[in-house]
Chain A
Amino acid sequence: MAETSTMSERSVTRFLTARRGGGSLHWTDIFSYVYLALGVALMFGPVVWLALSSFKTPAGLQEFPPTLLPLGQIERSVEGYDDPLPMFKVTMDDGTVRELAQIRRIGIIAQMVDPENPDETIKVPIASREPIREFRVAWENYTKPLERFNFLTYLNNSVIVTAAATLVTLLINSMAAFGLAIYEFRGRNAVMLFVIGTLMIPITIILVPAYLVVTELGMVNTLWAVILPGAATPTGVFLLRQYMLTIPRDLIEAARMDKASEWSIYWRIVLPLSLPAIAVLAIFSVMWRWNDFLWPLIVLNRSEVYTLQIGLNAFQGELDVQWHYVLAMTVVALIPVTLVFAFLQRFITTGIASSGMK
C-alpha cells in the first residue's frame, strides 16, 4: 500500500508505470512496454553511446569488449620512477591477489613493482594481471581540439550558413507557397506537381551540374555556395502551401477590402498565420543545413570556410582516424540543433488560423 501511495504522489512514476485498465499486468501492457523500450533504445541508444564514448581515451575506445562507461586505468607514482606507473591486480602463483604497478612489459612477461616496497621487482605473466580501472572522464577530448583545431571558425561558418540558409529558405519557400495557395490561376496544380516532382531527383544526379553553375558564378569557397543552391526546397513549398490552403479565404478577402497590398497580405496576414508550419520548416532547414556534408565537402576546399561537419572530417586521416576527437566534436556539433529544436517544437502544434472565425 505504501508503494501505491508514493506512486500517486509522483506523477512521473505513475506515468512510467501506467497500465491498461486496472491493477493487474495484462499482456498488452508487457507488449507495449517492450515495444516502447525498443523504440527508446533505437532512438536514444546511438546518442547515449556517442556521448559516453566521447569521454573515453583513445585506448578506451579501442578496447574489446567495449565498456559502457568511460574508464581509465589508475596510475600511481612509485619511489624511484620518474613517471606514474599503471596499476594492475595480479593473481600470484600461490593464488593470492596483489595490487602492483607495472614498470615495463617484455613479450608475455611484465615487470612489476609493489608501490609499498619499490626496491623489489616481480616478474608476472601478462595473462595473470588485470588493469585496475576507475570511472574517468577524458575532458581533453573536448579541450584539445577546441584549442588546437579551428573549432570556433568552423562553428562560426556553420552558424552563418545555417542561419542565412534557413532565412532564405523560409522567405522564398513561403513566397512560392503563397503564390500557389492564395492565387487561383490556370495550371496552378500542374506547377505544384512539377515542384513536388523535383523530389524524385536525387542530389547525386544534380551534383555535377550544380557544381558547374556554382563555379561559373564564382562562388566556390564562399559560404554562398552552400547557402544558395539548396534554398528552394520542394518539401518546404509543399508543406507551407498545404498549410496556407487551410487559412480561411474570407481573411484574405477581408484584407483586400481593408486596402491591403498583396505584399502586406503576405507579410501581415498569411505569414503570421502560417507560423506553425514555418516553425516546422525552420526545424527541418536547420537540421538539413547543420548536418549537410556532401555538398559543402564539394564546394568548400579551404579550411577558413569549412563548416563543422567538414571540419570534423579533418580528424579522419587516410590511415588513422582520431575517433576520440571525432566523437567529442560530434557531441558539440549536436548541441545547437538540439537547442533549436527544443525552442521551436512548441510552435509545431499551435494552430491559430481558425480561431478568429465564427
Chain B
Amino acid sequence: MTEIRLKNVLKAYGKVEVIHGIDLHVESGEFVVFVGPSGCGKSTLLRIIAGLEKVTGGEVLIDGNVVNTIPASERGLAMVFQSYALYPHMSVYKNMAFGLENSRMPRSEIESRVNQAAAMLQITDYLHRRPKQLSGGQRQRVAIGRAIVRDPKAFLFDEPLSNLDAELRVAMRKELAALHGKLGGTMIYVTHDQIEAMTLANKIVVLNAGRVEQIGAPLDLYNNPQNTFVAGFIGSPRMNLLEADIAEGEGGLALSAGGQRIAIPAIDGLKAGDKVTFGARPEHIAIVGEGEGDIEAKVDLTEQLGGETYVYCTVGGLPQLTVHQVGQLPVHSGETVHLRFNRDEMHLFDASGKVIVNGFKS
C-alpha cells in the first residue's frame, strides 16, 4: 500500500507557470480523482506524479521518499493512458508481459500473472490478437490489464474512458469501481467528467488554472462547496449562481437582484449593501402555488425525461434559472410558475467567490 504526497509542487514551461504550488496527500488505498476543466493542469499533475514531467519546484513523495529525481521507470507506478498506448506490433499477451519482462521476472510467473489478469478482465480470448484487431472497450481492458499485472504501488489513470461511447463508459466506470474494491490499491484518476469523479472517488481534488480549488469527499463537495468554482463545477446540471446585493429585510436580511427580493435570515458579518453571489441547485428549487413562492418566473423550456423534469425559466432581470423536479410535471413554456428556494440548501458566496454559508439554519 502506498501513500503519495505533494508538497508545494510547481511546474512551469519556460516562463509560463501551469501549476502554482499544490499540496496534496493521497492516502494508502484511496481512490482520488483530479477533476477540472480542460487546461487546468490535472493531467500535468498526474504526469508529475508518474515521473513523466519534472517539477520546477516542490517535492513529490511516494511512501515518504522524495522521488523528484527518480525516473518514471523506477517509481513503481502504472499508468493507463487516454489513448491506451498499446504497443501496436505486439500481441495482447506481449503487451501485458512487456513490463514484467523488463523487471526480469521468470517466464512462468509472467504467464500466470498475465493469465490471471486476463481472466479478471475477461480478455483471455484475445490474448493472441494485435491491438488493432480489438474494439475500443477491449483495448481499454488491455490497457488496464497491462497496469494490473505489474502489481504497481499505485495506479494512475489519465482520462481512460474519454474515448469510449457513452454506454461503454458507464459500464467501464462500474468495472473500475469494482476493480478498486477488488485490488484495493491506491488509484489516482484524472477526468473532466464530474459524474465519473462523483461515482468513483473516495476523494475529489477540484483543480482550476493550476490551483487546487477544493479537496474533499464527493458529497462534501456537493453539499459544502468552498467557492463559486466548485459550486458551479460539481453537480449536473450546474448550480444556479446569481449575483445579488444584500438589503435589509423584515426579521433579517434580503437578497436583492434584478428587482427581486428573497428574504434570508441574518448572518454575522453580512450587512446591507454587500455584494454576494447566491447559489441554488436545480433540485433545491421547488415549484409552489401562488403566494408561497419567493419569485415568479416565466417558463422558457421544459425537458420531460419521464422520471424527472427540467424546467428552464426566466425571471425579470436575472439570468436563466434551471429547476429540476422529480417525476412528470404539467408545465409548458410560456406559463408562469412560482419558485421557492429551499433555505437549508442555499449557498452564499462573497464578492471574491469564497463561501459565506452553505445552507441557512432556520
Contacts and interface: CB of A to CB of B under 8 A. Distances in A.
A260 B85 contact: no
B358 interface: no
Contacts of A356: 84-89, 130-132, 139
Interface stretch (A37-45, A251-259, A336-344): A251-259
A185 to B, nearest CB: 13
Contact of A253 (B52, B87, B98, B139): B52
- Interface size range on B against A: 20 to 34
Interface in A194-232: none
Given A255-B98, A273-B88, A356-B85, 5 more contacts: A250-B81, A253-B81, A255-B87, A257-B73, A358-B84
Nearest to B82: A250
A84 interface: no
A309 B289 CA distance: 102
A184 B73 CA distance: 18
B89 A257 contact: no
A259 B98 CA distance: 9
Contacts of A269: 87
18 contacts: A248-B83, A250-B82, A254-B86, A254-B87, A258-B99, A258-B150, A259-B99, A260-B98, A273-B88, A352-B88, A353-B88, A355-B88, A356-B84, A356-B87, A356-B130, A356-B131, A357-B83, A358-B83
B64 to A, nearest CB: 22
A250 B83 CA distance: 7
A250 B139 CA distance: 15
Q: Which of B102, B103, B163 has the most CB of A within 10 A?
A: B102
A256 B53 CA distance: 12
B268 to A, nearest CB: 52
B85 A250 contact: yes
Contacts of B136: 358
Interface string B311-336: 00000000000000000000000000
B102 A259 contact: yes
B89 A352 contact: yes
Q: Which 9 A-B pairs have the closest CB atoms?
A: A356-B88, A258-B99, A250-B85, A254-B85, A355-B132, A356-B131, A259-B102, A356-B86, A256-B72
A254 B139 CA distance: 14
Contact of B163 (A256, A273, A358): A358
A354 interface: yes
B165 to A, nearest CB: 13
Nearest to B52: A253
Contacts of A257: 50, 52, 72-73, 77-79, 99
A250 B52 CA distance: 10
- Contact-size category for A: 20 to 34
B71 interface: yes
B84 A253 contact: no
B11 interface: no
Give the residue among A250, A259, A355 with the most B Cβ atoms within 10 A.
A259
Interface string A316-358: 0000000000000000000000000000000000001111111
Interface in B55-102: 71-74, 77-79, 81-89, 98-99, 102
A258 B150 CA distance: 8
Nearest to A357: B83
- Of B73, B74, B131, the most chain A CB neighbours within 10 A belong to B73
B102 A264 contact: yes
Interface string B118-145: 0000000000001110001001000000
Interface of B: 50-52, 71-74, 77-79, 81-89, 98-99, 102-103, 130-132, 136, 139, 146, 150, 163
A272 interface: yes
A117 interface: no
Contact of A254 (B51, B74, B81): B81
B84 A357 contact: yes
Indicate the member of A272, A273, A356 with the most B CB atoms within 10 Å: A356
A261 interface: yes
Interface in A272-291: 272-273
Contacts of B163: 358
A258 B102 contact: yes
B87 A251 contact: yes
A257 B87 CA distance: 13
Interface string A224-243: 00000000000000000000
A221 to B, nearest CB: 43
A268 B94 CA distance: 11
A352 to B, nearest CB: 6
B258 to A, nearest CB: 47
A249 to B, nearest CB: 9
B102 A254 contact: no
A268 to B, nearest CB: 8
User: Of B84, B85, B131, B136, which is in contact with the most chain A CB atoms at under 10 Å from its CB?
Assistant: B85
A248 B132 contact: no
Contacts of B81: 250, 253-254
Nearest to A353: B88
A355 B98 CA distance: 18
A272 B73 CA distance: 21
A273 B89 contact: yes
A259 B52 contact: no
B359 to A, nearest CB: 44
A272 B52 contact: no
Nearest to B146: A258
B52 A256 contact: yes
Contacts of B85: 248, 250-251, 253-254, 356-357
B87 A259 contact: no
A261 to B, nearest CB: 7
Nearest to A354: B88
B145 to A, nearest CB: 12
Contacts of B77: 257
A255 B81 CA distance: 11
Nearest to B89: A272
